[in-house]
Chain A
Amino acid sequence: MQTTHEMVVNLGPQHPSTHGVMKLEVVMDGEYIVDCKPVIGQLHRGMEKMAEGMLYGQFIPITDRLDYLSPACNNLSYCLAVEKLLGIEAPERGKYIRVIIAEMQRIANHLVALGSWGLDLGAWTILLYTFRDREMLLDLFEMFCGQRMTLNCFRVGGTTYDLPDGFVEKAREFLEVIPSRINDYEALLTKNPIWMTRLRDVGVVSAEDALAYGLTGPNLRASGVKWDLRKVYPYEVYDRMQFDVPVGSRGDCLDRYYVRIQEMRQSCRIVQQALDQLPPGDIMVDMPTIALPNKEEFPNNFPEVVRHFHLLVQGYAPPEGEVYLGYENPKGELGFYLVSDGSGYPYRLKIRSPSFINMQIFPKIMRGAMLADVIAILASFDPVLGEIDR
């Protein structure tokens, strides 16, 4: 007798819309999902182990490769954790520059998230629009630190570079343009019945579930939990900024979309305020044991040359102890757990990456959804495989 039976499909790793090399083992009954098992590890680079053989400062470029769509935020989180371990704080101007760049990075990240989400649902055009606007941000980053993707722009104790001439003006230009562009996206998507029906009541995560599974970032706030580390435990200069924390109510894909759109607008507000308040002064903490010497002066100054060599070879040794600090990344709470044994190398580094923890809930919410929903839900969580596999 012929019967129907369930079909196992490997969604990925070579699939156009798994946002990298993720594999979802999907059991399907027709178009419906019976079971879903995420299989990860194909981008594993052993970052946590690598950190144990690196000076504290040497690990900063590796954090760029965590969530490669928001490298500045990763840099910031890591630098703040090491600074806490060392017991130092960046100077005022350095803090402002960090906040400006990190919030711009948040906008850039959400632009990519939105664009690739649109692409995954078949709205190709939105991808090109968001990338056009992200280009302006990348130009600003290039102006600031010479890199567009892997910025590597913050240091323990401050930033690498001061804002170059003309940066503030260009940033203001961007801030004038972007709100109307966000309105354009809303005109293309929010007012589009197909987009709305594709997202409404799809992948619903209740507030309890969101907390139980440890979701963070926009995905948590979309479920109605008002939890933003920038507000709850203000770091850097966020306590001086006026901004709202957008929250959703139903916890479906549509709420996650709204939250991201609103967060872009709020980030614009923060950048605006930070640019207004930007104080003059140092960008790097004034401590010879941590800050590198000035590159223009030191070749003619022998003690400085020795100090430079010393810093690059031995680094700085924080006191013995351990620290865990999590900060609000575009994708959620990126935490670094650092154990110091008093040497220049961390004894242990553990990365709590938001995409990895957010992904836990996939099997639960994918069950009963349709194949097309799997793509929508996956994109709505905005995972980045560099961060999931580390």
Chain B
Amino acid sequence: MWLYQFFYQPGEWARGIYQVMENWAVRIGMGIQWIQLIDMIIVAIILIAFIFLDVMFLTWLERKVAGHIQVRHGPMRTGPHGIIQPVADAIKLLFKEPMALPGVDNLIYLISPLMMFVGAMLIYIVIPFSPGWVVAPMDYGLLFAFAASGLSSFFVMAGGWSSNNKWSLLGGMRAAAMTLSYEVPLILAAIGVALVSGGLSLVGIVESQAGMWNIIRQPLAAVLFLVASLAEMNRGPFDLAEAEQELVAGYLTEYSGMRFAMYYLGEYTHLLAGAALFTTLFLGGWQGPLLPPILWFLIKIHVMVFVYMWIRWTYPRIRIDHLMAFNWKFVLPLALINLGVTGLVLVL
């Protein structure tokens, strides 16, 4: 019964737990604001634990997907099918010496990896995982998600700038240029969805997709969003900021040890957040028959992550001026047309 409620009525379940805690707090005479704070801390811990575990899983998944696409196995020695490879990686990175060149801008150099990770994590605050399971059901959730996502790209640039290395600088500048141009079609594509759903609230957007997902109502927007989000997340074929063969390691060149790991975690957190946003906007979020909503949501975001990986390991890297031309001459006009047509159809 309890399990059934956990899976199929997660909103009631969460409210029930909160109610129990509140009653207990009232009984022992604790202020209601304190119990709310404890509640928030618990939720934050659960969310961060989920992100960390899933991101570790994603680093393993990336290796396996890349391996199998490239007719090899990927990690096989660490546990069955290399499943604990992320742990081995983490231990290795922990023992690495964090070095810095002389002349780095110390404060920015140190906080950039952390802030990038934080920026990527902020997106999860507005993502509805299941009915009633959203940290902050904001009315302007979509706007918040894009703001947080743009913030994390900013710290890629800051890290590249502060490293005092020419390759890092070039990588950071590329990241900034890409974010500036791809943020526009990304938001325009999402506004089409917002128009159809009648609000910027992500919960509202998911609820409006009962019966028909937005990928059918807004197919063009879905494709544009996919392309633009690849650029936003700095993933191949748009991984120009890192571009190993051109810029050595781009903005990451001078980072080592746990600082490097933070950037890496941030990148995968961003990837997972991008997949979650796409799922929320176009694939109906937690909507789906039979299976519990949370399972549907997890299945959908991991399918999306797989699609992102599939694209990365198939395509060559695009050149920066082609990237810009592709954005301003192709993606952006299409996004505008999509928005206009959507508006017209809604008005008529």
Contacts and interface: CB of A to CB of B under 8 A. Distances in A.
Contacts of B319: 197-198, 370, 372-373
Interface in A128-174: 128-129, 132
A203 B172 CA distance: 26
Nearest to A129: B71
A375 B316 contact: no
Interface in A282-299: none
A122 B322 contact: no
Interface string B50-72: 00000000000000001001111
Contact of A128 (B71, B239, B243, B315): B71
A58 B315 CA distance: 46
A314 interface: no
A125 B69 contact: yes
A371 interface: yes
A122 B245 contact: yes
B237 A194 contact: yes
Given A197-B319, A371-B170, A132 B244 contact: no
Interface in A266-319: none
B245 A375 contact: yes
Contacts of B314: 123, 125, 188
A122 B166 contact: no
A120 B316 CA distance: 9
A16 B247 CA distance: 9
A121 B245 contact: yes
Nearest to B236: A122
A190 B302 CA distance: 30
Contact of A194 (B69, B239, B247, B316): B316
A370 B247 CA distance: 12
Given A15-B248, A194-B237, A375-B246, A122 B317 contact: yes
B245 A192 contact: no
B320 interface: yes
Nearest to A10: B166
B66 to A, nearest CB: 7
A192 B322 CA distance: 14
- Interface size classification for chain A: 20 to 34
A129 B313 CA distance: 12
Nearest to B166: A9
Nearest to B66: A124
B321 interface: yes
Nearest to A119: B245
A129 B314 CA distance: 12
A194 B115 CA distance: 33
Nearest to A202: B319
A17 B239 CA distance: 16
B316 A192 contact: yes
B110 interface: no
Contacts of A129: 70-71
A302 to B, nearest CB: 55
Nearest to B315: A194
B143 interface: no
Interface string B236-258: 11010001111110000000000
A11 to B, nearest CB: 9
Interface string B304-323: 00000000011111111110
Given A31-B320, A121-B316, A194-B318, A7 B166 contact: yes
Given A122-B239, A370-B319, 13 more contacts: A7-B166, A17-B246, A121-B245, A123-B314, A125-B70, A125-B314, A132-B71, A192-B315, A194-B237, A194-B316, A194-B317, A197-B318, A198-B319
23 contacts: A9-B166, A16-B244, A17-B245, A17-B246, A31-B320, A122-B243, A122-B316, A123-B317, A124-B70, A124-B313, A127-B70, A128-B70, A128-B72, A129-B71, A192-B315, A194-B315, A194-B317, A195-B316, A197-B319, A370-B320, A371-B247, A372-B243, A372-B320
